[in-house]
Structure 1
């Protein structure tokens, strides 16, 4: 069982204009319970009209923390939170949760911030060092863009491996990287239509979630990021993520790094596919 504590105070906020209210609030997550794999996260994220488009610690998935970077396994440590998928047994509670520990702020501005994060294994040893930057910028009178960039470098002094449950045999569970738990209900669509079978596990220049009064458009901001498959879920809950290790483990040698860059459009109203593509920059 996870003892859910009070949400910690906001550590940074993103605004679009000088006198505008925050469109996103950021928490470093230091006081979270260990079973959630403590880590930084964004919540709430809002449209310009004030609609909240993230969900925090829902009853069925307490380890879903708004929007952030999470990986199910790094060298045996669970940086996703909750149960660990064990081949032959399924999801199991293990005492293997890692922590993404905020180390230092590199930049804190109204429209952007960056910080250093150590990914610590169960014994407190640093496996990865991350530099993460988030920035907000206006797009239209009804939409703004969140730019997310992260760089993970292996500081363990030995090779480390990133894995998803799909690598271990859980079909379709290739998640691990950027993950956004959205509010429900929602529908998903992409350049080729709205069939989940065509979106989940596929590569595409952009992918969208749309609720009753909002749309999120996720896009890789460079060729390497766009080559990763998308994880998308609209049944049971609404969520979109990237996949660093969908089909095969991602092995990092000592000192080796992996970098990804995303743009997430946060819009009021339900966008059409053409509107989503145009705002994502992929049109």
Structure 2
């Protein structure tokens, strides 16, 4: 019997390791309102020990959907959800500019390799296709000393589907301090906290850290130890290569690929990104987690 299972339910996938479901990849959820930008997501996301580490549509940010990949701005469109940031004076304003990130078709589901690939269209608020995406995930078991965990890699290629240049931006470009969120992003379960954070093996004390790897020595709301590692892989357009996080008043962490200046794609141009997330029950030495995450 294989250690990996990718079980299809209509267009969604159930991700299984050693007969334990570690996540549900939802690509077609019609319960998400337009203002919250429908998008593929993984939730609930679990450790091998069964602890749920992701949150979905919390009341403070109902557009946060577990583990998701999205951008606050693509051209003139909100591809994140919620209000659009218009600068320090106006702040966030709810406007009719929300697009959707829509699953189109599966091109590969390979349980033996733990790999699944699909085509995705990023549609603007008027239905115009902005980006064409090919997104591949690969799931596998990993081990640190005597502790087993999982590693999920996401490789994506985004292609400008318009005949004009497209800017991929964040609220940071409009003046919001530490507002460079956008990219692969994990909304943690309610009450999740960080006992310690390290970036490339060094202590981290502020969001926006420049690093290849961020390791979170976390605690669930009930006090159980969970270690989460995030790793920046190779990219054709590396952007800022930063990490953004919050744990108070709500917990989240993500790859800030457009933190500093945003990203620019010429008409027809493509951009490739590669990221990894590893998760273990318990408090794991961050140096060992970094070793697991390095390709």
Alignment of 1:53-202 (within 5 A): 53-87=53-87, 88-110=89-111, 111-140=114-143, 141-183=147-189, 184-187=191-194, 188-190=196-198, 191-197=200-206, 200-202=207-209
- Provide structure 2 residue ranges, at least 5 long, that are not aligned to the other structure: 1-8
The answer to whether the 8 A contact 2:20-2:48 is kept is no
Distance in 2 (CA, whole Å) between partners of 1:91 and 1:120 is 22
Distance in 1 (CA, whole Å) between partners of 2:139 and 2:58 is 26
Distance in 2 (CA, whole Å) between partners of 1:9 and 1:43 is 16
Which 10-residue stretch deviates more, 268-277 or 96-105? 268-277
Distance in 1 (CA, whole Å) between partners of 2:150 and 2:162 is 38
Offset of residue 185 of structure 1: 2.6
The answer to whether the 8 A contact 2:164-2:267 is kept is yes
**Count of aligned pairs:** 271
Alignment of 1:248-259 (within 5 A): 248-259=261-272
Offset of residue 45 of structure 1: 1.2
Normalised TM-score (structure 1): 0.90
Normalised TM-score (structure 2): 0.86
Distance in 2 (CA, whole Å) between partners of 1:259 and 1:233 is 26
Distance in 1 (CA, whole Å) between partners of 2:58 and 2:28 is 16
- Secondary structure of the residue aligned to 1:124 is coil
Offset of residue 193 of structure 1: 4.1
Q: Deviations over 1:75-118 (max 9, x none)?
A: 11111111110123001111111100111101123322110000
Distance in 1 (CA, whole Å) between partners of 2:128 and 2:239 is 32
Seen in structure 2, the aligned counterparts of structure 1 residues 124 and 67 have a Cα distance that, compared at 3 Å, is same
Which 10-residue stretch deviates more, 211-220 or 169-178? 211-220
Q: Deviations over 1:239-280 (max 9, x none)?
A: 111122211131110111111111111111112222322322
- Provide structure 1 residue ranges, at least 5 long, that are not aligned to the other structure: 1-7
The answer to whether the 8 A contact 2:235-2:271 is kept is no
Distance in 2 (CA, whole Å) between partners of 1:192 and 1:214 is 18
Counterpart in the other structure of 2:228? 216
Distance in 2 (CA, whole Å) between partners of 1:128 and 1:227 is 20
Q: Deviations over 1:162-187 (max 9, x none)?
A: 11000111111001111111123321
Q: Deviations over 1:98-156 (max 9, x none)?
A: 10011110112332211000000011000000111112101124211011111110001
Counterpart in the other structure of 2:214? 207
